[in-house]
Structure 1
Amino acid sequence: MPYVRQTTHLERVRNLIAGRIVNPGDDVARLASSYQRSLDDYRLDPACTTGPRILTSAELRAIQQAEEGFLRSTGQCLPRLHAMVREAGYCVILANAHGVTIDYAVDQEQRKHFKKAGLYPGSCWSEHEEGTCGIASVLLDHEAITVHKTDHFRAAFTGLTCSAAPIFSPHGELIGVLDASALASPDARDSQRLVKQLVRQSATVIEDGYFLKSYGHCCIVLAHRNRHFVEVQPEMLLAIDETGNVVAANRCARQVIAGLDALPRPVGDVLEVRAERLVDARPGQNLLSLRLAGAGNWLHARLRPPAKTASLRSRLNSAPPATLSPDYSNEELAERTRIEQAMAQSKWRHLTAAAMLGVSRATLYRRLKHFRIVPPHKQQG
Structure 2
Amino acid sequence: MKDAAADGEALTMMANAELSPGFKHAERVLTAVHSSRAAVSAVAASWCRSALHHGLDPSAPQASAERLGDNELNTLRASNGELLTVAAPVLDRLHGSVGLAGACVIIADAGGVVLDWRTTDSDAALFEDIGLTPGVSWAEAAQGTNGIGTCLVEGCAVTIHRDEHFASRNVGVSCMDAPIFDPDGRLIAALDISSARGDHDRTMAALIGALVQDAARSIERDLFCRRYSDARIVLAGAGDQAMRGNVLLAVDRDDLVIGATRAARQQFRLATGADIEPRPLGDFLGQTGPASFDDGERAVLRQALARAGGNVSSAARLLGIGRATFYRRMERVGLSLRH
Q: Residues 6 and 69 from structure 1, CA distance in 2 versus in 1: closer, same or farther, beyond 3 angstroms? A: same
Q: Give aligned pairs, total.
A: 269
2:67 pairs with 1:54: yes
Write out aligned runs for 1:194-343 (5 A).
194-216=207-229, 218-223=230-235, 234-241=245-252, 244-254=255-265, 256=267, 258=268, 260-261=270-271, 263-267=276-280, 268-271=282-285, 272=287
Write out aligned runs for 1:20-99 (5 A).
29-48=41-60, 49-99=62-112
The alignment's TM-score, normalised by the length of structure 1, stands at 0.63
The answer for the alignment partner of 1:118 in structure 2 is 131
The amino acid across from 1:221 in the alignment is: I
Cα distance in 1, alignment partners of residues 166 and 54 from structure 2: 12
2:22 pairs with 1:9: no
Shift in Å at residue 187 of structure 1?
Answer: 6.8
Identity between Structure 1 and Structure 2 (%): 32
Please state which structure has a larger fraction of its residues in helix: 2
Q: Residues 141 and 11 from structure 1, CA distance in 2 versus in 1: closer, same or farther, beyond 3 angstroms? A: same
Cα distance in 2, alignment partners of residues 203 and 97 from structure 1: 14
Shift in Å at residue 16 of structure 1?
Answer: 2.9
Shift in Å at residue 12 of structure 1?
Answer: 1.6
The amino acid across from 2:173 in the alignment is: L
Cα distance in 2, alignment partners of residues 7 and 259 from structure 1: 47
Instruction: Name the SS for the 1:53 alignment partner.
Output: coil
Q: CA deviation digits over 1:155-203, x for unaligned, max 9?
A: 2211000001100112221010000001123374343110111100000
Cα distance in 1, alignment partners of residues 234 and 296 from structure 2: 15
The amino acid across from 1:270 in the alignment is: F
Identify the match of residue 131 of structure 1 among 131, 138, 144: 144
The amino acid across from 2:233 in the alignment is: V
Alpha-carbon contact 2:225-2:233 (below 8 Å) kept: no
Cα distance in 1, alignment partners of residues 170 and 265 from structure 2: 37
The answer for the alignment partner of 2:317 in structure 1 is none
Q: Residues 51 and 144 from structure 1, CA distance in 2 versus in 1: closer, same or farther, beyond 3 angstroms? A: farther
The answer for the alignment partner of 2:178 in structure 1 is 165
Instruction: Name the SS for the 2:41 alignment partner.
Output: helix
The amino acid across from 2:261 in the alignment is: N
Cα distance in 1, alignment partners of residues 201 and 84 from structure 2: 34
Instruction: Using the TM superposition, name which of 122-131 and 184-193 deviates more.
Output: 184-193
Alpha-carbon contact 1:51-1:156 (below 8 Å) kept: no
Cα distance in 2, alignment partners of residues 275 and 73 from structure 1: 37
Q: Residues 247 and 52 from structure 1, CA distance in 2 versus in 1: closer, same or farther, beyond 3 angstroms? A: farther
Instruction: Name the SS for the 2:131 alignment partner.
Output: coil
Cα distance in 2, alignment partners of residues 153 and 5 from structure 1: 13
Alpha-carbon contact 2:246-2:264 (below 8 Å) kept: yes
The alignment's TM-score, normalised by the length of structure 2, stands at 0.70
Q: Structure 2 regions of 5+ residues with no counterpart?
A: 1-16, 308-339
Q: Residues 183 and 259 from structure 1, CA distance in 2 versus in 1: closer, same or farther, beyond 3 angstroms? A: closer
Cα distance in 1, alignment partners of residues 83 and 245 from structure 2: 21
